[in-house]
Structures are given as structure tokens and as C-alpha cells.
Amino acid sequence: MDLSNFFAELKRRNVYKVAVAYAVVGWLLVQVATQVFPFFEIPNWAVRLIVLLIVIGFPVALVIAWAFELTPEGIKRTEDVDPIVAARAPTKHTWIYVVVVGAALSAALFFLGRCTAGNKSAVTSGNELPAKSIAVLPFENLSDDKNAAYFADGIQDEILTKLASIADLKVISRTSTAKYKSKPEDLKTVSQQLGVANVLEGSVQKAADKVRVNVQLIDARADSHLWAKTYDRDMKDVFAIQSEVAQEIADSLKAKLSPAEVSTVASAPTRDTAAYDLFLKGEFEYRFASASLRPERYDQAAAWYEQAIARDPNFAIAIAHLVICRLNRHWFVENLTGAQLAEIKDMVEHAVSLAPRAADAQVALGLYHYFGFRQYQQALAAFARALELQPNSASALEYSGYVHRRLGEWKLCVAELTKALELDPRNADAAGNLGQTYALMRQWTEAEHGSRNALAIDPHDVIGMRALLLTLTNSSGDLGNALQLLKSFPPDEKIVTTSISGTVASVAGERAYTFVLARDFDAALKVWDGPATSEIDLRARLAARATVRVIAGDLAAAKADGEKAREVLEKRVRDRPAELISLRQLSWVYVAVGQNTDALRIAQQLSVLLPPEKDALLGAGTLAGLAEIKARVGAPSDAVSILRRLLSMPAGESVSIARLKIDPVWDPIRNDPGFQQLLAGKELIGPDK
């Protein structure tokens, strides 16, 4: 076949048409993949795979076009088609339409992509990632013992802690980096999400008394390696590895270190590797406790820390972290006794004396003052000192924000939590607390954004879920979205935190009380079905069931449940007369059994123990709780007076007009003229300071 006949045969067999149509449609698919896939966070390898398949498919399409032909009788081999009949067949223009439409779509997507890229470029140029910024990603555990993941986490965490002490660097907190893989496929996306230019990847292999650590520092903007190194050492040299890696990173990023920072980077938390191993097990367990607020998790973490300290009584960081663990359990689960807090005081003072330049010891001291006694100024001083020692301490910033919130310094709280999230952008608790703060100020749009951000980071975060439930119900009173939201949360999580124990909802738990707001009392009671798992759970179950029955108007059943709860709670209050959650539970149990005078006495006692002047967050809750009891025991004018005050201050978590309209706790005074005036009035929007 000569060349002219060959080209004529290509034309007759529609190979040209197939080539043009394939090229246009293929280009369209490439545009869709490159412009649309990133919007849905589809990884880059999927885009590369589509491009590869299109390239491979091109010659295949041409071969098929040469070998086969579409006829009115179906697809046939070209050799079996009569050329004369084929030539007489009417010309179809479908392929032309395919080419034109495909070309138009391709062009549109191409120019859209260029426009979007231009916008992104403009944004990036205006918000360039700081060159001296780094995220230390989770280290991969390559040990034969897969249970040694805690050790790899510990190596990563210690390197990160040393880097965080360098003021010339921006270092992202471990809470945020823990959400990523050891070796993400798309480092540029990770760096943008975390706001850093550089990323450290690593792996750890532990065997007997040997350890191998591989690390590589990557400029994520250019996806280029700055340096990589492997350390093969004895276990006793693991601290030297951490110091060397931190120093290498600082040198590579041209960070300037003060003499004090040089000393911190070179220091070791302990010389006892066995104690260090026990400490790392405690750290691993404590992370689970912080996410779940489960008492058994806190207890297991504390046990590991105590074993580490038993091996090395001068292990200051282990002592500080034991203090932090026990104080968080005290704040979120069950209050410590006065004697136990005195023991905590001795421990934290010992940690500070052993390591006066350790930021974690200062954080522990700040928490002792804050969680232990609400001594806000002493707490702020300790957190400020922690930030001096470790400028990248997101936790010190976060706790400072919480203290300022208790002081009613709302704008300062928002500023510090926002800054903490810059250093720890994947911290669900901080994001949820920011959402809660906006809810208190009745800034509902910002509250919903912060709360949803928390749940996007961690769908099981208790703080974020609670804040979003409150925002959805208190902003509009529309319970449909709130009830739908509950379906996405673990059914065994009752959403209870003892650090916020002001109103009836804190007795029933936020999950159950959402059903109460919807007047589905059976569903609310079902939340508390089943046997108690601990003394804490027993008190909560008995009080919650009695309270829900009171609100439902089932007074006979409420009294029966209340009698079971009264003895348990009275004993608890005798032992711990200032424990807020137990007092609040007992006040509603007294309502259940008809002891209204005692219920009112305890509610008033709570408002004296913790007024808004002492705690702007929980004080508003105790006031709302007093109003609830007054409404129940026949003092409507007093209840209305308290509610009027709450509507004029940042108390959106407890009281809003939308919530007053639907909450059955106010049914006894719903027709009261003063209450009706409240519903027709206005509430404070935004902070008062």
C-alpha cells in the first residue's frame, strides 16, 4: 500500500475522526481531574493515574478505529464491510458535536484553572509561609513489636518539644501533626494546612537495647530534601539523638539560638532509659484520656507516670505530666479532695524546683492554680513564664485563653485561642472551645464555624460536639439539625463534662437534654439505661433519670428515682461540700423527692460559691441553675429577674430567647407575664468587654 492510499484508508476508516475526538475528550478529562479533584481533596496520584490511562488509551483507540467500523448492523471488522456500501452511507456529524462541546468545556476549565491559580497565587504571595517554620510529622514505627508505637511517638514529641523552645522558629504542636500520616503523599497540601514551609519525616526502629532513627527534613514548598540522616545508637544515647536532630534542624533553617535555648536543646529529661520508656507509655495513654475524658484512661496514664517517677524520683517532666494528668481528671471527671490537692501542690513545686526552666513544669503550676483553686492571676503568671521558656507552647496560650474567659475578658480569650490554633491548627478541643466562647457571646455564626471546625478535625471530640449542640439549639431553637447531629456521635458518649456544671442540662447530660428540649423524654431516659460502670457513673445515672422525670412531669417515677439518688449524693456532699456537680445533682434530686426548700438552699449555695464575678463562664451557669430551681419551686418573679440579668450578659451557653421558648424547664412559669415579656425582648449580642 503506497502512502497516498494509506492516508486515504485512514480517512475511510475514521481514524482521523477518532484521533481528534479522543484528543479533545482526553484533554477535557485531564482538565476535570486537575481542576475539580483538588476541590474534593482527591489525592494527586489519582490525577496522575487518569493522565497515564489517557496516554495509554490513545494508540489503543486508533488500533480499534482501524480494525473495526460502526455500521447500521452493529460493530464489524473493517475487512467485512463493503467499501461501496460504506461510502454510500449518510454522513453522521455526531463526532463533530462531541469535538466542539468537548473543546468548549476544556477551554472553560482551562481558563477557570488559570484564574483560580492566579487567585491562589495572589493569596499565597500575601500570606507566604514563614521560612523558619516546621511541622514534625508522626514517626513511623518500624519495630517488630507493633506495640512500640508509643516509643516512636515519644521520639517525635521530644524533638518537637526541643524545637518549640526556639523563639526564632514557628513550630506546630503535636496535637495537630498527629492527624497526619508519617509520609503523606501530598506534602504541599499538608504544609498549607499547617501553615509551615518545612516538614520533618522520620521512622524509629527499636530492638532490645538498640535504636535506629531515620529523619529527613523537607522543604514542602519545593518538595525538596534539605537533609537526611540515620542514627544507629544504643538506647542510652536516645536523648543525644533527639538533641542532635533538633540542632541540625535549627542549623538548616538558620535559626538563631540564645545560650539558654542551646542548653534546652542539649538537655535530657532523664538519664534512666527505662524510666523514659515508662513515661512515653504514660504520654501515649494520656492522649486517649484527653480525647475521651474517660476516667480509666486518666488512671492508666497516671500509673505509667508514677512508675517512671519511682525509677527516677528527679524526673521533673514526668512529675509535671502526672500533675497535669491528675488535674485534668479533677477538672473534667471527678474533683480531688483537699488532701489530694495538697499532694499535687507538693509535686508541682518539686517539679519546678528540679527544672525551673522546663515549660511543662510551669504549665503544671498554672493548672494547679487554675483547675485547683481558680487562682487566675497566679495561673496567668505561670503560663506567661511557660511561654517565655517555650515560645511555641500552644498549650500555655490555650490555657491563658481559658483563664481570660473565666475572668470575662472575652476578646482577649478569642485572641489567645486563635493564636493557639495557629500553632496547633488541628487541635479539636481548642477549636471547640473557641466555638463555645462565641456561643457564650451569642455570636452564633462564628460559634457554629468554630464548633464544626472542631468536629471536622475530630468527629468524636466531646467539647466540639457540645458546643455545636448548644449553638444549634440556642441560636434558633430549631432542634432538627441538633437531633440529626447526635446520630453522628458515638451513642455511648453522653456528652457530660463536670467542668461546666451550672444548669439542669449538666445533670441530664447534653445528649439526653437535647431529647428533653424536643420533649422526647423516653429517648432522654434511654441515654441513661444500663448498669453503672463506676461510682461517678452511678451518681450521674441516678440524678439524671430523676431529673428527666421531673421535667417530663412524671412526679411519681421521679420520686422513686430520687429516693435512690438522695442517699448516694448526700453522702458525697458530706464528704465534698464544695463539689459543684454533686451539689447541682442533689438540688434536682431534692426537687424530685419534693424537698423544695432544700433544693433552693443548695441552688443558692452554688450561686454564692461561684458567682459570675468569680467565674464569668460557670458563674453564669450557676445563676441560670438558680433561676431554674426558683421556677420549679414557685418563685417566678425571682426566676424572671435572674433571667433578665443573664440576657444582658455573655451567657448564651445557658440562656437565649430562642432556648427559653422551647426549654420545658421553664414550663411552670411559661404563662407568667414577666416571662412573656422576656420572650418579646432582646438579648445581648456580642461581648460586653
Pick the most confident of 147-156, 215-224, 234-243, 359-368: 359-368
Cell of 16: 482521523
- DSSP label at residue 357: T
Q: State whether 27 and 97 are in the same domain.
A: yes
Task: State the pLDDT at residue 107.
Answer: 53
Residue 268 pairs with which residues in a beta bridge?
Answer: none
The answer to whether 466 touches 617, Cβ cutoff 8 Å, is no
The answer to whether 481 touches 472, Cβ cutoff 8 Å, is yes
Whether residue 292 lies inside any domain: the answer is: yes
Q: State whether 646 and 505 are in the same domain.
A: yes
The CA R_g of the chain, rounded to the nearest whole Å, is 32
Whether residue 178 lies inside any domain: the answer is: yes
User: Minimal CA–CA distance to 652: which of 688, 628, 613?
Assistant: 688
Task: State the pLDDT at residue 626.
Answer: 97
Cell of 278: 515508662
Q: What are the φ and ψ backbone dihedral angles of 441, each rounded to 5 degrees?
A: -85, 0
Largest CA distance in the chain: 110
Q: Which amino acid is at 387?
A: L
Q: What is the mean pLDDT of residues 234-252?
A: 88
Q: State whether 498 and 401 are in the same domain.
A: no
Q: Can you count the helices (H) and strands (E) in the chain?
A: 34, 8
Report the distance separating Cα 1 and Cα 21, nearest Å: 26
30 or 367: whose pLDDT is higher? 367
CATH of the domain at 160: 3.40.50.10610
Report the distance separating Cα 147 and Cα 128, nearest Å: 40
Grade residue 220 by pLDDT with cuts at 50, 70 and 90: confident
Task: State the pLDDT at residue 508.
Answer: 95
Tell me which of 99, 126, 153 is where a domain ends: 126
Report the distance separating Cα 298 and Cα 686, nearest Å: 37
Structural domain containing residue 316:
273-450
Q: What is the mean pLDDT of residues 129-148?
A: 85
Grade residue 24 by pLDDT with cuts at 50, 70 and 90: low
Whether residue 480 lies inside any domain: the answer is: no
The per-residue pLDDT for range 269-325, each reduced to its tens digit, is 899 989 999 999 999 899 888 877 788 999 999 999 999 999 999 999 999 999 999
Whether residue 488 lies inside any domain: the answer is: no
Task: State the pLDDT at residue 689.
Answer: 43
CATH of the domain at 374: 1.25.40.10
Of 89-103, 375-389, 441-455, 643-657, the range with the lowest mean pLDDT is: 89-103
Other CB atoms within 10 Å distance of the CB of residue 82: 9
Report the distance separating Cα 231 and Cα 240, nearest Å: 10
Q: What is the mean pLDDT of residues 189-195?
A: 88
The answer to whether 161 touches 125, Cβ cutoff 8 Å, is no
pLDDT above 70 for 441: yes
Q: State whether 505 and 605 are in the same domain.
A: yes
- Element holding 385 (H helix, E strand): helix 376-389
Q: State whether 18 and 147 are in the same domain.
A: no
Concatenate the DSSP letters of all residues of 651-672 into one string: -TTT--HHHHHH-GGGGGGTT-
Grade residue 104 by pLDDT with cuts at 50, 70 and 90: low
Grade residue 114 by pLDDT with cuts at 50, 70 and 90: very low
The answer to whether 201 touches 216, Cβ cutoff 8 Å, is yes
Of 64-78, 81-95, 204-218, 555-569, the range with the lowest mean pLDDT is: 81-95
Q: State whether 319 and 372 are in the same domain.
A: yes
Q: What is the mean pLDDT of residues 574-591?
A: 94
Alpha helices of 458-595 — where are they, by DSSP H? 462-476, 479-486, 504-508, 510-517, 521-527, 535-552, 555-575, 580-592
Which is it for strands 198-207 and 210-219: parallel, antiparallel or unpaired? antiparallel
Other CB atoms within 10 Å distance of the CB of residue 648: 13
Concatenate the DSSP letters of all residues of 544-573 into one string: HHHHHHHHHT-HHHHHHHHHHHHHHHHHHH
52 or 431: whose pLDDT is higher? 431
Cell of 478: 430549631
The answer to whether 197 touches 124, Cβ cutoff 8 Å, is no
Residue 686 φ/ψ region, left for φ over 0, alpha for ψ in the -120 to 50 degree band, beta for the rest? left
pLDDT above 60 for 95: no
pLDDT above 90 for 658: yes
How many structural domains is the chain composed of?
4
Q: State whether 284 and 248 are in the same domain.
A: no
Q: State whether 258 and 328 are in the same domain.
A: no
Whether residue 457 lies inside any domain: the answer is: no
Tell me which of 219, 234, 266 is where a domain ends: 266
Task: State the pLDDT at residue 496.
Answer: 78
Task: State the pLDDT at residue 296.
Answer: 92
Percent of the chain with pLDDT over 70: 83
The answer to whether 480 touches 460, Cβ cutoff 8 Å, is no
Grade residue 191 by pLDDT with cuts at 50, 70 and 90: confident
Q: What is the mean pLDDT of residues 451-477?
A: 91
Pick the most confident of 122-136, 242-256, 422-436, 659-673: 659-673
Q: Which amino acid is at 509?
A: G
Report the distance separating Cα 59 and Cα 62, nearest Å: 5
Calculate the CA 106 to chain-centre distance.
Answer: 40
Task: State the pLDDT at residue 77.
Answer: 64
Residue in the block written with cell 432556648: 659
Of 238-247, 325-334, 538-547, 568-577, the range with the lowest mean pLDDT is: 238-247
pLDDT above 90 for 125: no
Q: What is the mean pLDDT of residues 589-615?
A: 96
Q: State whether 154 and 222 are in the same domain.
A: yes
Task: State the pLDDT at residue 72.
Answer: 55
Alpha helices of 68-93 — where are they, by DSSP H? 83-88
Residue 205 pairs with which residues in a beta bridge?
Answer: 212
Task: State the pLDDT at residue 121.
Answer: 35
pLDDT above 70 for 28: no
Q: Is the dihedral of CA 247, 250, 253, 257 positive or negative?
A: negative
Whether residue 249 lies inside any domain: the answer is: yes
Residue 140 pairs with which residues in a beta bridge?
Answer: 203
The per-residue pLDDT for range 344-397, each reduced to its tens digit, is 999 999 999 999 999 999 999 999 999 999 999 999 999 999 999 999 999 999
39 or 355: whose pLDDT is higher? 355
Of 59-68, 184-193, 213-222, 223-232, the range with the lowest mean pLDDT is: 59-68
The answer to whether 316 touches 354, Cβ cutoff 8 Å, is yes
CA triplet 26, 29, 33: central angle to 5 degrees?
140
Q: State whether 119 and 138 are in the same domain.
A: no
Task: State the pLDDT at residue 115.
Answer: 46
Grade residue 130 by pLDDT with cuts at 50, 70 and 90: confident
The answer to whether 305 touches 325, Cβ cutoff 8 Å, is yes
Tell me which of 430, 450, 470 is where a domain ends: 450
Cell of 614: 468569680
CATH of the domain at 576: 1.25.40
Residue in the block written with cell 444500663: 530
pLDDT above 60 for 1: no
Report the distance separating Cα 622 and Cα 615, nearest Å: 10
Q: State whether 22 and 95 are in the same domain.
A: yes
Other CB atoms within 10 Å distance of the CB of residue 157: 21
Whether residue 465 lies inside any domain: the answer is: no
418 or 46: whose pLDDT is higher? 418
Other CB atoms within 10 Å distance of the CB of residue 460: 14
Q: State whether 616 and 587 are in the same domain.
A: yes
Percent of the chain with pLDDT over 90: 54
Task: State the pLDDT at residue 282.
Answer: 94
Give the predicted TM-score (pTM) of the model: 0.74
User: Minimal CA–CA distance to 176: which of 423, 403, 391?
Assistant: 423
The answer to whether 477 touches 448, Cβ cutoff 8 Å, is no
Q: Which amino acid is at 28?
A: L
Work out the mean pLDDT of the chain and round it to a whole number: 85
Whether residue 359 lies inside any domain: the answer is: yes
Task: State the pLDDT at residue 12.
Answer: 61
- DSSP label at residue 2: -
Concatenate the DSSP letters of all residues of 130-175 into one string: PTTEEEEPPPEE-SS-GGGHHHHHHHHHHHHHHHHT-TTSEE--HH
Grade residue 120 by pLDDT with cuts at 50, 70 and 90: very low
Task: State the pLDDT at residue 315.
Answer: 96
Task: State the pLDDT at residue 119.
Answer: 41
pLDDT above 50 for 126: no
Task: State the pLDDT at residue 116.
Answer: 44
The answer to whether 241 touches 231, Cβ cutoff 8 Å, is yes
